[in-house]
Each structure stands twice: as structure tokens, then as C-alpha cells.
Copies of this chain bind each other. A is one copy, B any other.
Amino acid sequence: MKVGIIGANGYGGAELLRLLQKHPFVQVEEIISHSTQGKHITEQYPHLNSFYNQTIGKLEIREIASKVDILFFATPSGISNEILPQFFEQGKTCIDLSGDFRLIQDKTYEKWYKKKHSSPSYLKQAVYGLTEVYREKIKDAQLIANPGCYPTAALLGITPVLKAKWIEPSTVVIDGKSGVSGAGRNPILGSSYAEINENMKAYKLGSHQHIPEIEQIINEISGASTTISFTTHLIPMTRGIMCTIYANLTEKVTTQEVIDLYKSTYQNDPFIRIRSANKWPATKEVTGSNFCDIGVLIDERTNRLIIVSVIDNLVKGAAGQAVQNMNVMNGWDETTSLHLTPLFP
């Protein structure tokens, strides 16, 4: 199959190039970027030397559509809702890594993204690409809204106990911590080395666009209709997201029972690894890989469950999960080109 990547200059795009390079069933035919068109891809990304030998193209929809079967949109929010439908209408498989098709309601999108959605009628066509939870729907989808990085870590961390109704959804607090690569490759003061290094900051408290995304899925899974607390912190590292999740228990369970529940829930999911009791995952243990590692604890003193969930934000939180979804959509082994050993240390 022939693949095109729209928005290839960002880190998500570069990561798609890394992952697709070894994929036996696809070939990257088109590498598109608005800001760097005309440059050779290795000028932008010297590490890709000897893997890709192409010039970055411009967005000519008709021409691209004539050449590729599958499109990845690794664009900032607000782009794909304009252009994706044109590819969709020509029957192309569309996998959108941006937030444009994740929220069911365009009003919610407008409120949190501060933009009008230009293609609201396509929202119901989109399947939310949290593979482990929505695999069956993904198989038949033509348009995937690939989950946000934080929501991936948060939702994979909380899904088993939500489904089992062992926690009270309204008490959920999710403290999110992220490396800097999630902010994209565009140089801004807030991502400058001297501002990030030896520093830690909270940001977008109460207003992060991943809040409605997480709530939407939590409510869908639990059947509840509630609000949760979700906060975001910038950590001086490049890759990695950790969500520490707190929730009040609805029944008396032990740590081992929770571990067993997680292992059983994810028994057929090759990218979920559950830690044993009193072991906690570290972000570096998943770097460069598509894993989501999870540790849990029942804190008997407070009758709360504490969950720690980690991913590589550029892989399971973006490009890796996108490729995973492509594999599922095409009936290929879900781990194709994704069975990568994390790079440690």
C-alpha cells in the first residue's frame, strides 16, 4: 500500500517515517509539509539519511490522492478538519493524529480548541483510535481520530477499573506529566532549552483541550456523566508521558486483585504491560516503543486506588498508535513494524 504523510516536518511526522520505514506492507510515497516543502527530507532530518531519499512535497490534494491509499495527518489542530474530508470522499483511509475529529460534538471542539469546526458532519464517521478499547470498531473504520498523548496514557490506565465499576468516576483526579516533544517542533520561548532544562511547570490548568477528550471516553466507558480533574505539567525531558491517577474505590479490593483485573483485561493486548505489586513503571522503560506500562496500588489508608501509566508520547501517544490502527484496519498483525524494544538507558 502507498502511504502519504501530511505534516511531515513535526516530530509526529518524523516518528511516522521512522516506524513506516520498516513496515513490510506499506511504502511512504508522499511526504508533505507546508513549511518545508521543496527541501530534501534529510535536510530537515539528517538522522533519516540512508532511509529516505525524497523531497518534501506540497499539499496538492488531487495529485496526492491519485498516488496514495492511506493518509496520516500529523498536522497541528485546525488543519485536518479542512482537508481530510476531501481525501475521505475519494475513499482514502484517513488517520488523523490531530485533535480535529476526536470530540463527538463540534460545540465542544469549538469551546476547547477556540476554533470553529469546518466539517462537523464527519465527526460521527470518525472512530476514536484507542486501539485496545475500540479495536472492533477500528477494523471497519475509514477515518480514525488517533487519541491524544495524555488521553492514551490516562484512558489505558483507568479503563479496566472503569469497566469493572470499582471506582467512583466523579472522584477521578489525573495528574499528567509530559516531556517537551509533545509541544511540536515549532520554536517557541516556552519550549526553549534554557526555559525547560532544570525546570518544571504546570500549564493550561483547567483549560487543556485533552480534558473533554478524556471525559468523553470515561463517560462512554463508565456510562456515567461526570467531570474529572486533569492537569498537565511540563517535565525537562524530550519523550515520555506519565499519568498518575487517583480515584475513590466503590468496593474493597486488594492491590493484587486490581493487578489481576488489569492483566485479564489486557491479556490479548501485546502493547500493554502490567507491573507486579509495588513496582512502578518509568517513562524510559517504554522510550521509542509502542508500550503502555501500568502499575497500580490500593492505598488502604485512604481507600483510594492509585494508578501510574506511562507511554512514549511520540509512539503510543501518536505515530505508533496510528500505525497500530493502520495495521488493525488492514487486517495485518497489530504489531507489524511496532515490536520495538525500548531504548534503555
Please measure, in the bound complex, the distance between the C-alpha atom of A240 and the C-alpha atom of B200, giving whole angstroms.
Answer: 8
Q: Is the CB of B285 within 8 A of A46?
A: yes
Residue among B188, B238, B280, B304 making CB contact with A198, cutoff 8 Å: B238
Q: Of residues 215 to 253 in A, which have CB atoms within 8 Å of B's CB atoms?
A: 227-229, 231, 233, 235-240, 242, 244, 246
Which among A55-63, A189-197, A325-333 touches the partner chain? A189-197
Which among A99-107, A129-137, A155-163, A173-181 touches the partner chain? A173-181
Q: Is the CB of B308 within 8 A of A205?
A: yes
Q: Of residues 18 to 51 in A, which have CB atoms within 8 Å of B's CB atoms?
A: 18, 21-22, 45-51
Supply 21 A–B pairs (Cβ within 8 Å), ascending by A: A14-B345, A17-B341, A46-B293, A47-B342, A173-B173, A173-B304, A175-B244, A185-B194, A193-B195, A199-B284, A199-B345, A200-B237, A201-B281, A203-B280, A205-B297, A206-B297, A206-B306, A229-B246, A229-B299, A233-B244, A236-B236
A interface residues (Cβ-Cβ under 8 A, vs B): 11, 14, 17-18, 21-22, 45-51, 173, 175, 177, 179-181, 185, 187-189, 191-203, 205-206, 227-229, 231, 233, 235-240, 242, 244, 246, 270, 273, 275, 279-289, 291, 293, 295, 297, 299, 301-302, 304, 306, 308, 310, 341-345
